[in-house]
Amino acid sequence: MKLYGFFASSAAFRVRIALNLKGLAYEQASIHLRRDEQRAPDYLALNPQALVPALVDDDQVFIQSLAIIEYLDETHPSPPLLPGHPADRARVRGLAQLIACDIHPIDNLRVLRYLRKPLGQDQAAIETWFNHWIKEGFDSLEHILATDGQAGRFCHGDEPTLADICLVPQVFNAMRHESFDLKPYPTIMRIFGTCMKRSAFDKAQPAKQPDKE
Amino acid sequence: MKLYGFFASSAAFRVRIALNLKGLAYEQASIHLRRDEQRAPDYLALNPQALVPALVDDDQVFIQSLAIIEYLDETHPSPPLLPGHPADRARVRGLAQLIACDIHPIDNLRVLRYLRKPLGQDQAAIETWFNHWIKEGFDSLEHILATDGQAGRFCHGDEPTLADICLVPQVFNAMRHESFDLKPYPTIMRIFGTCMKRSAFDKAQPAKQPDKE
C-alpha cells in the first residue's frame, strides 16, 4: 500500500493512525500542500480533488480519509475500528463526522488561504475564525463524551475507534494555535492522552513523519 | 422514528431520501434554523451540536447525516445504499464525503452568517465564496463520475447509493443561487435528473416538506 499524504495534514494523519492500528506496512509519498504539489498533473490524475490523502492498494486509488479508513477496516477487520452494534457504530461515526465534516474542512489550509486572499482578512481575523470553529465543535464533543455514558478510556469504550482517530489530529491542529484554550475540554484531553500512549497514534504524529519540516 | 430536520437543510434532505428509499415511515419535527431553534434547550439536549438532522429511533438519538444513513442501512438492509465490495463501498463513501465534508459544511448557513458578521463581508463576497466551494467540489466530482467508468444511471452503477443521496441536495443547494452555472456538469446533472424521477428523491425535496416556507 502507498499513502499519498503530508506530515501536517490532519486527514492524512488519520489514515496513518488507522494503518498503524491495523499493523499494516505502507509506503509514504509526500505531497507538499504549501507548495501546491496537490495540483501537479501526476497527483491530480490520482486524486482529482487535489487534496490529501489518497491511498493506493492493489492498483486502486481511494480518496477521502474516512472512506479509506472504513475500507481498511473492511479489508483488515482486526482490530476493529468500529463497534459491532449498529447503534454504537452510528455513535462512533457521528463523533468522527462531527470532527471530519464540521470542524476540520472549515479550518483547512485552502479555506484559510481564501480568507486571506481574496477576502483580505488579516492574521488576527483568521486566527479568530480558526479558533471559533474548533470551539463550536469541541464544546459539543466534550459535552457528549462527558455526559452520554459511553466513553471509556477512549471515545467509545476502552479500545480506540474511528472517533479517536479523528479526535487526535484535531487536538494536534488546535495545539498548533497557541491562542486556542484547551482547558475547557478535560474529557477530550484525557482521551487524547490515552491515545498518545499507544504507539499507533504516536508514530503517526506530524513530527515523526519523513517529510516533517 | 422521528426526524428532527428543516425543509431547507441539505443534511436533513439526505436523511429524508434514505428513509424514503428504505420505505420507512417517520414523523418529522421542524427545527427552524433561521430562527435559531437549534439552540433551544430542548433541542440541545437531543443534539448538543445544534445542527440538524437528529434521528430518534427506539429512544436513541443519532446525529450526523451520513452516520444516520449508515445506521439505517445496517438496520434495514434492503434496498442497500452501499455496494457489496469494499473497494466499491470506498468509492461511494468517498464521493459522498467529497460533498458532505468538502463542499457542504463550508457553505453552510452558520458559516455564511459568520462571513457577514463578524467578518463584515457583503452579499456579493458571500455569493462568490458560496460558488467557489461548490465549483471546487463539482469540478472534481464531475471529472470522477465522467471518467472512472463506474457511474451508470446513478453515481455508482444503476441503483441509487449514498453518493446520490448526497449529490441531489447539493445540486438543489447550487440551484438556489442563480449565479452558479451548472452547465459544466453534464454528468452530475444527468444523474440528478435520473434521481429526481424516483419518488424517494422527489418526495424528500425542500418544497414538498410540511415546514416549507
At A174, which CATH number? 1.20.1050.10
> In this complex, how many residue pairs, one in chain A and one in chain B, have their CB atoms less than 8 Å apart?
122
Q: What is the pTM of this model?
A: 0.98
pLDDT band at A183 (very low <50, low <70, confident <90, very high): very high
**Residue A143 to residues A88, A148, A151, A155, B166: CA-CA distances in angstroms?**
18, 8, 11, 12, 28
B120-127 CB contacts, 8 Å cutoff, 24+ apart: B121/A119, B125/A119, B127/B177, B127/B179
A119/B121 touch (CB, cutoff 8 Å), yes or no: yes
User: What would the pLDDT profile of B82-102 be if each residue is shown by its tens digit?
Assistant: 999 999 999 999 999 999 999
Give yes or no: residues B73 and B93 share one domain: no
Q: What percent of chain B has pLDDT over 70?
A: 100
Shortest Cα distance, chain A CAs vs residue B204, angstroms? 22
User: What would the pLDDT profile of B143-171 be if each residue is shown by its tens digit?
Assistant: 999 999 999 999 999 999 999 999 999 99
pLDDT band at B62 (very low <50, low <70, confident <90, very high): very high
Give yes or no: residues B12 and B96 share one domain: no
Give, to the nearest 10 degrees, the angle between helix B65-75 and helix B10-22: 10
Shortest Cα distance, chain A CAs vs residue B106, angstroms? 5
Instruction: Say whether pLDDT at B76 is over 90.
Output: yes
B66/A93 touch (CB, cutoff 8 Å), yes or no: yes
B101/A66 touch (CB, cutoff 8 Å), yes or no: yes
A114/B125 touch (CB, cutoff 8 Å), yes or no: no
Q: Is B35 helix (H, G, I), strand (E, B) or coil?
A: helix
Give yes or no: residues B21 and B58 share one domain: yes
B64/A98 touch (CB, cutoff 8 Å), yes or no: yes
Cα B39 to Cα B37: distance, rounded to the nearest angstrom: 5
B129/A106 touch (CB, cutoff 8 Å), yes or no: no
A91/B62 touch (CB, cutoff 8 Å), yes or no: yes
Instruction: Say whether pLDDT at A190 is over 90.
Output: yes
Give yes or no: residues B94 and B156 share one domain: yes
Q: Which residue of A has its CA nearest to B86?
A: A71
Q: What is the DSSP string of A90-144?
A: HHHHHHHHHHHHHTGGGGSHHHHHHHHTTT---HHHHHHHHHHHHHHHHHHHHHH
Shortest Cα distance, chain B CAs vs residue A130, angstroms? 12
Give yes or no: residues A75 and A125 share one domain: no
Give yes or no: residues A90 and A170 share one domain: yes
Among A49, A74, A140, the residue with its CB nearest the CB of B49 is A140
Q: Average pLDDT for residues B15-19, to the nearest whole number? A: 98
Contact present, A51 and A11 (Cβ < 8 Å): yes
Domain boundary among the residues A55, A79, A103 is at A79
Instruction: Say whether pLDDT at A170 is over 90.
Output: yes
Q: Which residue of A has its CA nearest to B137?
A: A49
Contact present, B92 and B82 (Cβ < 8 Å): yes
Element at A57 (helix H, strand E): strand A54-57
Q: What are phi and psi of A72, to 5 degrees?
A: -60, -40
Task: Classify each residue of A138-159 as buried b or exposed e, where b means 16 or more C-beta atoms within 10 Å of its C-beta.
Answer: bebbbebbeeeebbeebbbeee
Contact present, A66 and B98 (Cβ < 8 Å): no
Domain boundary among the residues B19, B44, B79 is at B79
The pLDDT of residue A163? 99
Whether A208 maps to a domain, the answer reads: no
Whether A49 maps to a domain, the answer reads: yes
Whether B69 maps to a domain, the answer reads: yes
Shortest Cα distance, chain A CAs vs residue B71, angstroms? 6
Q: Which residues pair with B60 in a beta bridge?
A: B57
Among B67, B68, B94, the residue with its CB nearest the CB of A67 is B94
Here the CATH number for the domain that contains residue A10 is 3.40.30.10
Whether A18 maps to a domain, the answer reads: yes
Region of residue B110 (phi > 0: left; psi between -120 and 50: alpha; otherwise: beta): alpha
Q: Is B53 helix (H, G, I), strand (E, B) or coil?
A: coil
B97/A125 touch (CB, cutoff 8 Å), yes or no: no
Shortest Cα distance, chain A CAs vs residue B154, angstroms? 19
Whether B213 maps to a domain, the answer reads: no
B102/A49 touch (CB, cutoff 8 Å), yes or no: yes
The pLDDT of residue B126? 95
Q: Which residues of chain B make contact with A50, given a CB cutoff of 8 A?
A: 140
DSSP assignment, residue B213?
A: -
Average pLDDT, chain A: 97
pLDDT band at B9 (very low <50, low <70, confident <90, very high): very high
Task: Classify each residue of B142-156 as buried b or exposed e, where b means 16 or more C-beta atoms within 10 Å of its C-beta.
Answer: bebbeeeebbeebbb
A62/B140 touch (CB, cutoff 8 Å), yes or no: no
Domain boundary among the residues B79, B105, B140 is at B79
A49/B98 touch (CB, cutoff 8 Å), yes or no: yes
The pLDDT of residue A161? 98
Give yes or no: residues A144 and A67 share one domain: no
Contact present, A144 and B54 (Cβ < 8 Å): no
Q: Average pLDDT for residues A9-15, to the nearest whole number? A: 98
Give yes or no: residues B67 and B168 share one domain: no
Q: What is the DSSP string of B156-197?
A: SBTS--HHHHHHHHHHHHHHTSTTS--TT-HHHHHHHHHHHT
Contact present, B102 and B137 (Cβ < 8 Å): yes
Contact present, A72 and A18 (Cβ < 8 Å): yes
Helices and strands (H, E) in chain A, number of each type: 9, 4
Domain boundaries, position A47 = 2-79
Whether A190 maps to a domain, the answer reads: yes
B71/A51 touch (CB, cutoff 8 Å), yes or no: no
Whether B165 maps to a domain, the answer reads: yes
**Strands B2-5, B27-30: pairing kind:** parallel
Give yes or no: residues B44 and B148 share one domain: no
Give yes or no: residues A184 and A108 share one domain: yes
**Residue A109 to residues A11, A96, A114, B6: CA-CA distances in angstroms?**
12, 20, 9, 31
Provide the CA B162 distance to its chain's centre, in angstroms.
10
Instruction: Say whether pLDDT at A179 is over 90.
Output: no
Residue type, A30: S
pLDDT band at A177 (very low <50, low <70, confident <90, very high): confident
Contact present, B141 and A50 (Cβ < 8 Å): no
Instruction: Say whether pLDDT at A178 is over 90.
Output: no
Instruction: Say whether pLDDT at B178 is over 90.
Output: no
Give yes or no: residues A104 and A196 share one domain: yes
Give yes or no: residues A37 and A60 share one domain: yes
Among B97, B115, B137, the residue with its CB nearest the CB of A67 is B97
Mutate to test the interface with A, among B93, B145, B147, B187 (most CBs of A within 10 A): B93
Q: Of all residues in chain A, what percent are helix, strand and coil, respectively (each to 5)? A: 55, 10, 35
Whether A210 maps to a domain, the answer reads: no
Sign of the CA dihedral A162, A46, B135, B82? negative
pLDDT band at B177 (very low <50, low <70, confident <90, very high): confident
Question: What's the order of all strands across the beta sheet hosting B60-63?
Answer: B27-30, B2-5, B54-57, B60-63
Q: Which residues of chain A make contact with B41, given a CB cutoff of 8 A?
A: none
Domain count, chain A: 2
